[in-house]
Structure 1
């Protein structure tokens, strides 16, 4: 299974997000995924197997528990593949950053508090 097939599934993306925060016991991962997606423990185990087999996750056994952690190497490969497309969106994101900064500066010079919509009275 290629990296984009792995990342194409929302359950696997959620597991990777959890692993990006910290390593997790398999039971904790099941709890997170079941709470958000309502799938069985067996289905979560299948997703974890796919993540292990495709190199996105590592597992170590600690007595009776399996502890999962993120392996970032496949994500680096995805990043390298995406690199050829960055030229399409980076100038637009740069322009957006400029406009956001300009808007913040205008609000500050008008005395408008940060995060306060224009036209709203100060609290």
Structure 2
């Protein structure tokens, strides 16, 4: 199984998944609502959500038949730490 950083970067590599994350900044939403702006099936969006959830970028609740999705900042922590460390190193080299 890939490490958390690799899972997060792999999940963020897809533009549809990034758009889903951007939509979730406005608040939680179900799969049908998240699928509306895309020209792909609800099943395809569900697969994207599974990838995001496995990367720790979102969580999915359970409220009877409704499974609201919400952002989880913990999944971004390895990405932010990696980017911050590399940015600092680049700035030091740039002098």
- Higher-Rg structure is 1
1:1-123 to structure 2, matched below 5 A, reads 2-32=7-37, 34=38, 38-87=39-88, 88=90
Unaligned runs of 5+ in 1: 90-123
* Structure 1 runs of 4+ with >6 Å offset: none
Residue-by-residue CA offset, 1:7-55 (whole Å, 9 max, x unaligned) = 00001111111112211122111113x2xxx112111110011111221
SS in 2 for 1:29: helix
Structure 1 or 2: larger strand share? 1
Over aligned residues, Cα RMSD in angstroms?
1.8
Please report the TM-score for the alignment, with normalisation by the length of structure 2.
0.80
Please report the TM-score for the alignment, with normalisation by the length of structure 1.
0.63
How many aligned positions are there? Answer: 86
Unaligned runs of 5+ in 2: none
Residue-by-residue CA offset, 1:67-117 (whole Å, 9 max, x unaligned) = 00001111121000001222346xxxxxxxxxxxxxxxxxxxxxxxxxxxx
